Structure 1
Amino acid sequence: MIKLAVTDAEILSCFPVLVQLRPKLVRGRFLKQVRQMQTEGFQMAFLQDEGRVVAVAGFRVSSNLFMGKNLYVDDLITDAEHRSKGYGEEMIAWLEAFARVQGCLVLHLDSGTQRQQAHKFYFAQGFPITSFHFSKPLVD
């Protein structure tokens, strides 16, 4: 069953999986960072198997002129020990259903160019490449 991480314990239980995608995360600052992001609309969903978090998705619902109301996936990761068991597909299906209930017109995400295995997964889930994403660091 997939549910939203609401309590401190639920949020912290997602850390071991999320750090696999975002290795610069610091456990001691993680909860405060997520709580701050939640004030900006961030939400986190997680999937457990036998009491252990095996997949996590961080996302936000927003609107823009380009897509209208949309759900953007900030983070999507399945624990390395639990890949190829259908958890990623289950999370994508949950995100799509959540987006539809929210009235979103688009579900979208970015994926680092080095993540070829993730790209294969996204293609298999029906995500075409629709644009390039450019970013410019503003601090050293």
Structure 2
Amino acid sequence: MTYEFKIIPNSNLDQIIPLVYELNEEKVDKELLKSRFDDMKQQNYKCAGVFKANELVGISGLWFSTRHYIGKSIELDHVYLLPEHRGNGLGKQFMAWIYNYAKEHGCSSVELNTYVQNHPSHKFYFNEGFKILGYHFLKKL
């Protein structure tokens, strides 16, 4: 299978909403997701897509920031491949593309969060050389 990796223009960002919706266990209404992504377009956010014959089959949000402990970095967000495209090395190829993209944009590191119960992702990220640095805390207001 031939896949293409590329940044999704902000004008086409609505196409990622069905994949983001599937990723989250606590379903966020699709209209609310659209509204949030409209806000994110105005921030340091980009989205990388995986395409097969012009069909979107995977995504990863990319947040750009400079952090005191590591310098300029990309934080991956809502990394998701449709289940039928997993297990064939595509995730590894996608990550390699992201690492290269990060380097091209002056980043010295890649960070991410993953859900505690998502054990397959933990194994994948450990195999990619990620290390656990801390805990992600959340308080809803």
Q: TM-score, normalised by structure 2?
A: 0.87
Q: Moved runs in structure 1, 4+ residues, more than 6 A?
A: none
SS in 2 for 1:90: helix
Aligned to 1:91: 94
Choose from 126, 129, 138 the match for 1:126: 129
Alignment of 1:1-140 (within 5 A): 1-8=4-11, 10-23=12-25, 24-129=27-132, 131-139=133-141
Letter in 2 for 1:111: T
Root mean square deviation of aligned Cα: 1.7
Partners of 2:110 and 2:10 in 1: CA distance:
26
| Aligned-residue offset at 1:7 | 4.7
Of all paired residues, the percent bearing the same amino acid is 23
Q: Paired residues, what number? A: 137
Which has the higher mean CA deviation after the structures are superposed, 99-108 or 18-27? Answer: 18-27
Q: SS of the counterpart of 1:118?
A: helix
For residues 25 and 86 of structure 1, the distance between their equivalents in structure 2, rounded to whole angstroms, comes to 29
Determine if contact 1:14/1:56 at 8 Å carries over to the other structure.
Answer: yes
Specify every segment of 5 or more residues in structure 2 that has no aligned partner in the other structure, as ranges.
none
Structure 1: runs of 5+ lacking an equivalent: none
* Cα distance in 1 between the residues matched to 2:96 and 2:49: 13
